[in-house]
Amino acid sequence: MEKRLIEKFEELFGKGGDIRAYFAPGRVNLIGEHTDYNGGHVFPCALTIGTYGIARKRTDNKLRFYSMNFEQLGVLESSIEGLKPEKEADWTNYPKGVIWAFQEKGMQPDSGFDLLLFGNIPNGSGLSSSASVEVLTGFILRDLFGFEVTNQDLALIGQYSENKFNGVNCGIMDQFAIAMGKAEHAIFLDTATLQFEYAPIRLKNAKIVISCSNKKRGLGDSKYNERRSECEKALAQLQEVIDINSLGDLTIEEFEEHQDAITDEVCRKRAKHAVYENQRTIQAVDALKQNDITKFGKLMNESHVSLRDDYEVTGVELDTLVEEAWKVEGVIGSRMTGAGFGGCTVSIVEDDAVDNFIAKVGAAYEAKIGYAADFYVVEIGDGPVRL
Ligand code: GLA
């Protein structure tokens, strides 16, 4: 892989110098959806698919970018000074945002650089191709310019750039899962404190299968920011009757007792999801520790129902994938993953049921939706690396 990318890099940007190769993963969230900006828990893991980057410092202040996923855009160029988001800059707004965020935090690269990317995560699929590019860019900046930042800082800088440069009010989950990923482990993260623990995922005789709806989703133009403000409204009203910092502070009993303080019915449903999903995530990790994968699967299913009915972020594509998955024998659990509104589902499927799962869900999806879904049997991988 790297060899082919380096050849392409040399063809575009010339040979010689200190050319370095890197990789940052994508992520899938097993449970704990739309809880990360509500001070709740999440349980994501890094994948072995992700984004490759080839980079070399320049002697001037130019930035030159090329993506093998968007070859039609050619080489996109700018100065490292005065970075601001621009529509024409397309995908390069992600790496630019990270460079800008480093500068905002007082870390000024002493030159520009050339960067070639290639991602094998389907774009816009809900597997965090953008957070993967953000963390990769931060990792490259640290390596090329010697900035003293930890992997956790890279996650926070990535989120900061996405919030402030790209205008998406995302939580910390994606960048954290990518920057802190560990092979064969998921990350049980408390987003209120950033305390986390690695939980081994030892699925005996089962696989993680991602079903990609191929319905494209842009976070910025989706209803993501709207959900976030609905939760904020609900929180503000709850705070009038109970002393909490976030929805993640509430137990189910406390929520049930005080929910009437939320006057708007829609906001009440959103808050209900956030509270119940947080508790489900805690229970799910507990079940996993007890080796009760059946319970883990059941909680995944409940998570989907809540995202469908209370949070309303699924849509016919994701619902079809999940509801068809539930019908297949050997499926332990299945739910949408990521922001929703398109993107992917994650299912835990017994080894000998995987082929049947792909055939059955694939056929039913195509018959109902009119185009095909894609299926990936994935492995849990490490965080970013220099290759
Ligand atoms: C997107 C965001 C995350 C998180 C999920 C929903 O992936 O980037 O911060 O909010 O949606 O769980």
Give per-residue pLDDT as tens, 94-145. 999 999 999 999 999 999 999 999 999 876 678 999 999 999 999 999 999 9
pLDDT digits (tens, 9 = 90+) for 19-68: 999 999 999 999 999 999 999 999 999 999 999 999 999 999 999 999 99
- Residue 317 pLDDT > 80: yes
- Residue 378 pLDDT > 80: yes
Which residues are within 8 A (CB) of 372 and not within 5 positions of it... i.e. 6 or more apart? 214, 362, 365, 366
Instruction: Give the separation between CA 96 and CA 82, rounded to whole angstroms.
Output: 10
Beta carbon of 344 within 6 Å of any ligand 1 atom: no
Q: How far is the CA of 70 from the centre of ligand 1 (A)?
A: 24
pTM, two decimal places: 0.96
Predicted confidence at residue 204, as pLDDT, reads: 85
Predicted confidence at residue 221, as pLDDT, reads: 57
Beta carbon of 44 within 6 Å of any ligand 1 atom: no
**Residue 217 — very low, low, confident or very high, per pLDDT cuts 50/70/90?**
low
Q: How far is the CA of 12 from the centre of ligand 1 (A)?
A: 35
Beta carbon of 36 within 6 Å of any ligand 1 atom: yes
- Residue 218 pLDDT > 70: no
Predicted confidence at residue 143, as pLDDT, reads: 98
